[in-house]
Structure 1
Amino acid sequence: MSKISPCLWFDGQAEAAAHYYAAVFGGSVDHVSYYPDENLSPSPMAGGSVLLVEFTLFGQSYQALNGGPQFTFDEAISLSVACADQVELDRYFDRLTGDGGKAGPCGWVTDKYGLSWQLVTRGILANYHSDDRAAIARMMAAMMTMQKLDTAAMQAAFDGETS
């Protein structure tokens, strides 16, 4: 387990979500803990139901907690995936949106559990390290017209190429 692990709050879907994320991203579900019997401890979920699921994606540990309906995800927190190339980005985008998720602006996807993801290629991320602010502005202007990011179009905008 990592020293710091994001803990994602669910209302009864923690185990299903962890297995889903492990399947989408080639990770693993590492441990499932259960709530004690109802008569031993008050809890937001039924005794014997899943409490906490520990899972790993790309070497990073995560926790999925069944905490009840009090809290839901919003776009204030997202998980950013640095994809190797457009093919990998397309695969994740298609899987996350095709399984009940929805595309948002600028490469964001909200999955079927309500968690937001940012899918971007490493090449585009590297462009943000440039000192050429005009190139970054062109690339960002192109990005603002997209849902799923088109790496080639963003790179062309960064490079100042017009179509």
Structure 2
Amino acid sequence: MKGDKLTTVLWFDGDAEEAARFYADTFPDSAVGEIFRAPADFPSGKKGDALTVAFTVLGRSFSGLNGGDMFKPNESVSFMVVTEDQAETDRYWNAIVANAGAESACGWCKDRWGFNWQITPRTLLESQQAGGDEARRAFEAMMTMGKIDVAAIDAARRGD
């Protein structure tokens, strides 16, 4: 993270290091970086606890801050991961949901820490860029889904 001009900071309730390790294990071009351990006790932790954790996800810089339980993530912020096929879509969706996450609608899921993810196949984005009836059909198909079904989106795009 040295030299980065912009880092997104995510607020955790004591488990930023665990989250960073999960993200690094789940997504390519991801890693856990420097962990700053508290030099003294603080309101939501003890001396030696991880206070901040630097990490990257898909090449983007983040810092996890163990700030306590006063702030919770919500759906107003999400992470969109663009996937190339069903296998990649399944891999990310299943990893997040199986790790005490939760399924939602239209390609959205929530990880165990409350952060929202949009696991979005490229074909869905391309359908919306195409516009017209193709976009409408793909959108209507997406509205019936939890995890996105790539074959169903492709069929809707074609009008099958």
The reply to whether TM is greater than 0.5 is yes
Deviates more, 1:75-84 or 1:43-52: 43-52
CA offsets, 1:86-108, max 9 Å, x none? Answer: 11001111111111111100011
The equivalent of 2:38 in structure 1 is 35
**Per-residue deviation, 1:43:** 4.5
Residue type of the alignment partner of 1:54 = A
For residues 126 and 137 of structure 1, the distance between their equivalents in structure 2, rounded to whole angstroms, comes to 12
Structure 2 residue identity aligned to 1:28: A
- Following the alignment from structure 2 to structure 1, what is the Cα–Cα distance between the partners of residues 122 and 15? 31
CA RMSD of aligned residues (A): 1.4
1:142-157 matched pairs, under 5 angstroms? 142-157=141-156
Q: How far apart are residue 159 of structure 1 and its match?
A: 2.0
Q: Which runs of 5+ in 1 are unaligned?
A: none
For structure 2, the residue ranges without an aligned partner over 5 or more in a row are: none
8 Å CA contact retained: 2:120, 2:148: yes
1:133-160 per-position Cα deviation (integer Å, ceiling 9, x unaligned): 3221211111110001001111211222
Q: Which runs of 4+ in 1 moved over 6 A?
A: none
Number of residue pairs aligned between Structure 1 and Structure 2: 157
Inter-partner Cα distance in structure 1 for 2:6 and 2:129: 26
Q: CA deviation at 1:122?
A: 1.7
Do 2:129 and 2:135's aligned partners in 1 also have CA atoms closer than 8 Å? no
Shifted more, 43-52 versus 74-83: the winner is 43-52
- 2:93 corresponds in structure 1 to 93
2:87 corresponds to which letter in structure 1? V
Do the aligned partners of 1:35 and 1:43 also contact (CA within 8 Å) in 2?
Answer: no
- Deviations along 1:33-73, whole A, 9 cap, x unmatched? 122213xxx54432221111011122111111101111011
The percent of aligned pairs where both chains have the same amino acid is: 38
Calculate the TM-score normalised by the size of structure 2.
Answer: 0.91
Query: Structure 1 residue 4: deviation in Å?
Result: 1.9
Question: What is the aligned partner in structure 2 of residue 82 from structure 1?
Answer: 82
Structure 1 residue aligned with 2:57: 57
TM-score (norm 1): 0.90
Aligned equivalent of 2:118: 118
Residue 160 in 1 paired to residue 153 in 2? no
Q: What amino acid maps onto 1:147 in structure 2?
A: G
